[in-house]
Amino acid sequence: MSNTDNMQSNTNVLVNETQIYPGFYTTNIKKLANVDYLRFQGAFDTVITDLKNDYNKDKFVRDNSFNQSWDHIQGEARELIIKLLEMYCAAEYSGFILYKELSYQLRETNSTLSDGFRLMSRDEARHASFLNKALTDFHLTPSLEFLKKEGRKYHSLPFAWFIHSTYLSEKISSCYYINIFDHLVSHPEYSIYPLFGLYKSWSEDEDRHGDFVGTIIKSQTNLSNGLKARLVCKFYLVLIFSMTYLKYKDNEKLFALIGLDSREYYITTIKSVNKSVEKHLPVILDIENSMFFKKLDACMLHISENKKIGISNHYKLLKFIKKTPHYVALFLIMLSLFLIKSIDTQANRIA
């Protein structure tokens, strides 16, 4: 976090401007424009009607529970909450910008998809704005310079990677929020800030976003049917679940603050995501009783060994020689992960 400016809020408390770093993404718009929504009109109508109904329109209000000073939260706990708010504020703004731009770019070529993305950008703007206000509780306000288009660096993602990562990130967010919400309902003593009380509505919004993107996947024969589609899907599930799980160590303190074991929480969340994507994807992973997470623990050990070698005082060549066995081990573990069983959701058989 870098504070770049100071200003006075209307309550005369010094507010610091803080930088957040949304990512900017794009993909092959032609492929989105060519999505044949007519063949899947019923499915698209259902998800778009759900988005239009906006069941959580009145939920994102700052009720009286926010109406107090949060200065009693100090030290590491304060830093962790601010880190959480900044991280999610950046993610929500990323989603808002991405969906808004897709909606605009598709307005003349695919009005159904354009509508869906517009409604999703509405939700992401609402989420970002709520986090923006939450940051003011900690005397911070994000710099919104990134809303100006000049200077943005866009990452153009291949269509299959874009659509799977967008879909899974929405479904992961949904499970992430609801698991924390459920935990805090049964352990209210850890509910140290009222934002968590909104996580149920938050989860529902992200779930609907996932349903919309999932419908796009289902409408693409090359992504939803056949051996190639199953292999591609399995590849993305393994990759994205692995990348998600590897973050648990970075968030151990944050989860401890709300009474959760980070590793257990990530495993529970990934397992619930795996179940929830069954309705849209051609395969899911057989991770209930497999060695999936133990293999990822082994990956983390090799990554950490390589980090230690990286910051050691050895010569470059010696560092490379010392790192090589860990790279080989990582490659073999990842390969074994891609070979784990998957469950064919259409035929409901182990493949």
x/- letters, 130..169, toward Fe ion (CB under 5 A):
----------------------------------------
Residue type, 324: T
Task: Specify the residue, 123 or 137, whose C-beta has the smaller distance to Fe ion.
Answer: 123
Secondary structure element (H or E) that encloses residue 8, with its range:
strand 3-8
Task: Specify the residue, 51 or 257, whose C-beta has the smaller distance to Fe ion.
Answer: 51
Task: Specify the residue, 112 or 169, whose C-beta has the smaller distance to Fe ion.
Answer: 169
Tell the smallest beta-carbon distance from residue 259 to Fe ion (Å).
Answer: 24
**For Fe ion, which stretch binds (CB under 5 A), given 11-19, 47-55, 90-98, 307-315?**
90-98
Tell the smallest beta-carbon distance from residue 39 to Fe ion (Å).
Answer: 25
**Total of chain residues touching Fe ion, rule CB under 5 A:** 6
Which position among 126, 127, 208, 302 is part of the footprint of Fe ion (CB under 5 A)?
127
Q: Is 212 exposed, middle or buried (0-12, 13-18, 19+ CB in 10 A)?
A: buried
For residue 242, give the nearest of 299, 195, 305, 190 by alpha carbon: 299
Half-sphere exposure of 299 (CA within 13 A, CB side): 22
Pairwise CA distance, residues 159 & 31, whole Å: 7
Task: Specify the residue, 124 or 211, whose C-beta has the smaller distance to Fe ion.
Answer: 124
- In DSSP notation, 133-145 reads HHHHTTTEEE--G
Tell the smallest beta-carbon distance from residue 99 to Fe ion (Å).
Answer: 8
**For Fe ion, which stretch binds (CB under 5 A), given 10-18, 59-67, 158-166, 170-178?**
170-178
Which position among 86, 101, 115, 124 is part of the footprint of Fe ion (CB under 5 A)?
124
Measured torsion, CA atoms of residues 235, 239, 244, 249, in degrees rounded to the nearest 10 = 140
Half-sphere exposure of 172 (CA within 13 A, CB side): 18
Strand bridging mode 3-8 / 14-18? antiparallel
Residues 185-224 that bind Fe ion (CB under 5 A): 206, 209
| Helix (H), strand (E) counts: the chain | 12, 8
Task: Specify the residue, 116 or 282, whose C-beta has the smaller distance to Fe ion.
Answer: 116
Task: Specify the residue, 209 or 234, whose C-beta has the smaller distance to Fe ion.
Answer: 209
Q: Which residues are near Fe ion by CB under 5 A?
A: 92, 124, 127, 170, 206, 209
